[in-house]
Structure 1
Amino acid sequence: MADQATRATRPFRFGVVTPISSGLPAWQDRVRRIADSGYSTLLMPDVPTWQPALGPTLATAAALTDLRIGSWVYAAALREPWSTAWEAHSLAVLTEGRFEMGIGAGRPGIEVELGLPAVSPAERRTRMRETVAALRTFDGPDLHTPVVMAVSGPKSQALALEVADAVTFVLPPDDDRIETTNRVRDFAGRRDIELAQHIAAVGDRLAPFMAPPDLDTAALRAAAAEEIERRREEIGFSYFVIGADFADTLAPVVAKLAGQ
Structure 2
Amino acid sequence: MRRIADSGYSTLLMPDFPLMQPAPGPTLAVAAALTNLRVGTWVYASPLRPAWLTAWEAHSLTQLTGGRFEMGVGTGRPGIDDELRDKGMPAVPPGERLDRIRDTVRALREFDGAGRHTPVAMAVRGPKARALAAEVADTVTFVQRADEPRAEVARLARDFRAVRDVELALAVSVVGDRVAPHMAPPDVDPAAVRAADSLATLPEDPAAAAEEIQRRREEIGFSYFVFGADSADTFAPVVAKLAGQ
State the shift of 1:253 in Å: 0.8
1:159 to 119, 127, 132: 132
Tell me, in whole angstroms, the C-alpha distance in 2 between the residues paired with 1:251 and 1:146: 25
Q: Distance in 2 between matches of 1:230 and 1:149?
A: 23
Distance 2:14 2:171 in 1: 13
TM-score, length-normalised on structure 2?
Answer: 0.91
Aligned residue number for residue 91 of structure 1: 61
Which residue matches 1:232?
217
In 1, Cα distance between equivalents of 2:89 and 2:126? 24
Task: Identify which range, 52-61 or 177-186, moves more after superposition.
Answer: 177-186
1:172 Cα deviation from its structure 2 partner: 1.6
Query: Deviations along 1:41-82, whole A, 9 cap, x unmatched?
Result: 001110001011110111111111010000010000102100
Are residues 72 and 104 of structure 1, via their aligned partners in 2, closer, same or farther at CA, if it must alter by over 3 Å? Answer: same
Q: Could you tell me whether the CA contact under 8 Å between 1:109 and 1:118 is conserved in 2?
A: no
TM-score computed with the length of structure 1 as normaliser: 0.85
Q: Work out which of the residue numbers 35, 47, 62 in structure 2 matches 1:65.
A: 35
CA distance in 2, matches of 1:126, 1:259: 37
Query: SS at the partner of 1:241?
Result: strand
1:179 aligns with 2:166: no
Equivalent residue number for residue 203 of structure 2: 222
Secondary structure of 1:186's match?
helix
Q: Is the 8 A contact 2:142 2:153 kept in 1?
A: no
Distance in 2 (alpha carbons) for counterparts of 1:144 and 1:106: 24
* Paired residue secondary structure (1:248): coil
* 2: CA distance, partners of 1:65 / 1:218: 37
Taking the aligned partners of 2:214 and 2:145, their CA distance within structure 1 comes to: 20
Which letter maps to 2:39?
I
Which residue number corresponds to residue 130 of structure 1? 103
Indicate whether 1:104 and 2:74 are aligned: yes
2:198 corresponds in structure 1 to none
RCO (CA 8 Å, sep 6+): is it higher in 1 or 2?
A: 1
**How many residues are paired up?**
230
2:169 counterpart residue number = 196
Which letter maps to 2:59?
H
1:152-174 CA deviation, whole Å, 9 max, x = no partner? 11110000000010101101223
Question: Which SS does the other structure have where 1:168 is aligned?
Answer: strand
One-letter amino acid of the counterpart of residue 138, structure 2: D
| CA apart distance, 1:209 | 1.1
| Structure-2 change in CA distance of 1:254 and 1:61 (3 Å) | same
Q: Distance in 2 between matches of 1:94 and 1:206?
A: 33
Q: Which structure 1 residue ranges, 5 or more long, are not aligned?
A: 1-30
Secondary structure at 2:190's aligned position in 1? coil
When the two chains are superposed, the root-mean-square deviation of aligned CA atoms in Å is: 1.2
Q: Give yes or no for contact 2:120–2:137 (8 Å, CA) kept in 1.
A: yes
